[in-house]
Chain A
Amino acid sequence: MIQEIVINGLINGSIYALLAIGFSLIFGVARVVNIAHTALYMAASYFIYLGFDYLGMSSLLAALISILLTVALGLVCYQLFIKPIREHESAVLIATIALAMVIQEIFLLAFGGNYLGVPPLATGYFMLAGVKIANQHLLVLGAAFLALIGTWFLLMKTRIGLGIRCTAQDREVANLMGINVNREIMAALGISVGMAAVAGAIVAPLSVIDPHMWLHPLTMMLAIVVLGGLGSIKGSFISSYILGFTEAVVVFALPMGAFLKGPIALSIMILVLLIRPEGLFGVSFEEER
């Protein structure tokens, strides 16, 4: 049981980290609370299914194409629905909820409510210190770590990352440094949706694909972001693993635990809001204008 908790905790945590960091990033940079974030993650899973099952692509090619398609979808949606109302925060919130539902309904219409699946990229398992580890799990972990390290590198070590971080901290002063704020927002959105798409792509072979698969990760992601502190990338990263492991413990150690994972995440969220509303690494946003 312990090894299952460790493996699943790591996998859950990594996937939540991919989702929550992207969510935090676009909130920090553009103040957009993107409820449709996990709907885009679902879109990536469906695109893989589409590429693999309908078009006969290899799963790797289907995964790559689905990530690109999802990013494109995210950017188009932003330009069409979010950008014109970006300064109206509550309108943005409502628009992203609507967008998520539209995406859900489109997939429901297109594929029905059936549970779909794609085969794993790697089969078989190997033994490590007497513990059976599926190759697919290892692949998922590797891909997730790679994506997380890639994002870290992009944000901390490149010029685009510098521009994005400046924009997140003070949009107006970023302007004064010659940073094109709108372009940085698009870049940040691309990275954010890209991370969600990577999460969707690596989750697809592990679970079932259905039009409601975005709801549970959404709950978890919101709980994580509240625990970590809204807008804090470090906080999102750490609390992703906290909640990822909590979920694994609940599922594997409690009887009927699988039904409890949502309620427990929400209870953690409520507790954090009551005791420490700014979260573990709360970012206090400076007045901007």
Chain B
Amino acid sequence: MLLTVSNLTVIYDRALIINDLSMEVGMGELVGLVGPNGAGKSTVLRAITGLVGWEKEVLRGTVGGDISLKGKVVFDGERIDDKPAHEIVKKGLIHCPERRRPFREMTVLENLRAGAYLVKDKAEIQNNLDNVYKLFPILHSRAGQVSGALSGGEQQMLAIGRSLMFRPRLLCIDEPSTGLAPIMRSEVFKKIQEIRELGISVLLVEQDVSTVFKMTCRNYLLSSGKIIAEGSGTDLLQDEVIRKTYLGL
């Protein structure tokens, strides 16, 4: 397994956000992490990629800074739950954050270069840049524009493109379809599938269950910080209780 999470528990200020969660992502898989609003999907990603740990360190001693993170996260055979976020990136575990979050005052090109911050070889940066432009031609034509001026869909492409600039092996994408027009959504999902075809594993957090279930190999259904079901989209949809209670379909 590429990523193994075991018994992950996250507590923010005595509120139990993630409760003893275990999950796996295999090499080349596209795994969905779905669930209702507030289930803790983003927190799972943030815990895996070191952001919860970072928050814990930065906010220590402030109001709401009492954060506890327990459990074990193993990526490619190496334990990473005690590593800082900027070290975890080096292993190829890349997090494409919620709300896209481009560096708004920087140009598209600068954003992509920021994604390649860890790459020191200029030729490799150029090569990665060409690949990203091939996948998202729109970014090429917008290269000189300030990223804050892009449309939501373009910003999402930029956020994904930025995560591809440094040898990703597992890409964790948080809610890429939020706030996008339907046509843009299907475009983004199509690109995610293309990324997977490049041999990059993907862990996809989404609300748009009907689309996700068509793409993914396996899915985890998260509710109130606990995984309550696991399986392919068809399996999950067959269960009447899950379908009605958690997926609202």
Report which A residues bind B (CB closer than 8 A).
87-88, 159, 162-163, 165-166, 169-170, 172-181, 283, 286, 289
Contact = CB atoms under 8 A, between A and B. Distances in A.
A254 to B, nearest CB: 39
A177 B115 contact: yes
Nearest to B147: A169
Contacts of B105: 169, 283
Interface in B51-76: 51, 54-55, 58-59, 61-62, 65
A8 to B, nearest CB: 33
Contacts of B117: 159, 162-163, 166, 177-179
Given A165-B103, A170-B101, A289-B55, A176 B49 contact: yes
Given A87-B58, A87-B61, A166-B114, A176 B103 contact: no
Nearest to A232: B105
Given A87-B61, A162-B113, A179-B117, A173 B97 contact: yes
B114 A172 contact: no
Given A162-B113, A169-B103, A178 B118 contact: yes
B50 interface: yes
Contacts of A88: 61-62
Nearest to B55: A289
A181 B89 CA distance: 13
28 contacts: A87-B58, A87-B65, A88-B61, A88-B62, A162-B110, A162-B114, A165-B103, A169-B105, A170-B101, A170-B103, A172-B51, A172-B101, A173-B101, A175-B50, A175-B86, A175-B89, A176-B49, A176-B85, A176-B94, A176-B95, A176-B97, A177-B86, A177-B162, A178-B89, A178-B90, A179-B117, A180-B84, A289-B55
Contacts of B51: 172, 175-176
